[in-house]
Amino acid sequence: MDQLEFFRQIIRTLQTSGMRYMVVGSFASGFWGEPRATYDVDVLIALGASELPGLAKLFPSDEFYFSPEAAQDAIRRGTQFNIIHPATGNKVDLTIRGSDAWSQLQLSRRRLMSLEPGFEFYVGAPEDIILGKLLFFREGGSEKHLRDIAGILKLRETELDMDYLIHWAGELQVEHEWTLARSRFGHS
């Protein structure tokens, strides 16, 4: 199973479960900007403790590594856990939607995308992907996040809701990172 096939299977499984989700991270920034290789798929999900047993059943242990304990801990702490396909090494990081205002808002702004005929999935709005990348850059300082932002700006700048970006950059305290990302890649 290659990464794309794994992605399809994960998304179809989440859709079948009825769980609210959206693709985020580098996979999503590649849809809005310039694609780049990534080792995993990042998905934001609205998952409560009561839904965990049902989700675990969708990823059988004979095919997937899925730790209910790690998932329960992620729900409690508002972090992430992963599901791995050991035969291929493919991995999805599932991030639990936070309780803050921006985290709650993101899922309502998600967009339905088509990867190919007959396969649609939800991806984070480009502004929210940029904000997420700014948060990751602030945490780790990796230039790849700034390059991903630059790719989105290069292809979508005129389509972006700049008022939304400026507002949430302030709320999330990533104004400095936003200014740096824009200036580093020649945007005013």
Residue-wise pLDDT tens digits, 61-119? 899 999 999 999 999 998 999 999 999 999 999 999 988 999 989 999 999 999 888 89
Q: How does pLDDT run across 51-76, given as a tens digit for each residue?
A: 988 888 888 889 999 999 999 999 99
Does pLDDT of 37 surpass 90?
no
User: Structure pTM?
Assistant: 0.90
Domain ranges of the chain: 3-124, 127-184
User: Which of 15, 27, 10, 108 is CA-nearest to residue 64?
Assistant: 10
CATH no. of 3-124: 3.30.460
What's the pLDDT score for residue 187?
A: 59
- Listed in sequence order, the residues at least 6 apart from 98 whose beta carbon sits closer than 8 Å to its beta carbon are 78, 104
Contact present, 40 and 92 (Cβ < 8 Å):
yes
Mean pLDDT, residues 130-153: 90
